[in-house]
Structure 1
């Protein structure tokens, strides 16, 4: 993993969330992406927290933006692995959250929203 590329991905991720630009966010995601999140378990009925495919992820994120009009993220740290980027950030409520993004050919194939306990 190129650390400059990982840092740039995190900057774009923050910018695109804060501008509420779903098309830009989804441009980094594979069509067959699998995303897990405890929030998805609450927002997407019957998902058990697992969202499969880009179209379903778009619907989940759009619903999240609708439910949280004040959504705002601030990246605080970025971690790069072999084919993984972790973006640690604070959300609009000050909560510490991490997105664990697994990549293939520069696209997110698996993502995991994780929350501080």
Structure 2
């Protein structure tokens, strides 16, 4: 099993995020995806930071964009594994973030947003 072309995937992912097009981002994910993020725990506290399925991801990312209307990413590096792609990017607050994406075929089955361990407000969401 292999991943899609990592750089092409990262370009599509970046374009979708910077356009704030949640549906375009979701096209990269399986319907039963599991995604974890400390930001999700803040945006949707009931999730405990674990989102299951596209509907929960859609709700999280839609609310995240509402809370962070200036969201913008810049890709710094792309790494490829056997079934994983890691996208290292900077967000609108210049915080370095890693998105770890595990693939099943050409779509993401499992994803993990990872942030610096010492950042109390990783997404830059305003309280």
> TM-score scaled by structure 1?
0.95
Q: Is the alpha carbon distance of 1:59 and 1:43 closer, same or farther for their aligned partners in structure 2, counting shifts above 3 Å? A: same
The equivalent of 1:22 in structure 2 is 22
Q: Is the alpha carbon distance of 1:50 and 1:2 closer, same or farther for their aligned partners in structure 2, counting shifts above 3 Å? A: closer
The equivalent of 2:125 in structure 1 is none
Give the C-alpha shift of residue 22 in structure 1. Answer: 1.0
The equivalent of 1:102 in structure 2 is 102
Give the C-alpha shift of residue 67 in structure 1. Answer: 0.3
Matched, 1:9 2:4: no
Cα deviation 1:57-99 (Å, max 9, x = unaligned): 0010000000000000000000000000000000000000010
Cα deviation 1:24-66 (Å, max 9, x = unaligned): 1111100000000000011112111000000110010000000
Q: How does 1:4-83 map to 2 (within 5 A)?
A: 5-83=5-83
Query: Which 4+ runs in 1 deviate beyond 3 A?
Result: none
In structure 1, list runs of 5 or more residues that go unmatched: none
Distance 2:116 2:45 in 1: 23
In structure 2, list runs of 5 or more residues that go unmatched: 118-127
Distance 1:65 1:29 in 2: 18
CA contact 2:78–2:88 (8 Å) conserved in 1: yes
Give the C-alpha shift of residue 2 in structure 1. Answer: 6.0
> Aligned with 1:35: secondary structure?
strand
For these two proteins, the number of residue pairs brought into alignment is: 116
> TM-score scaled by structure 2?
0.88
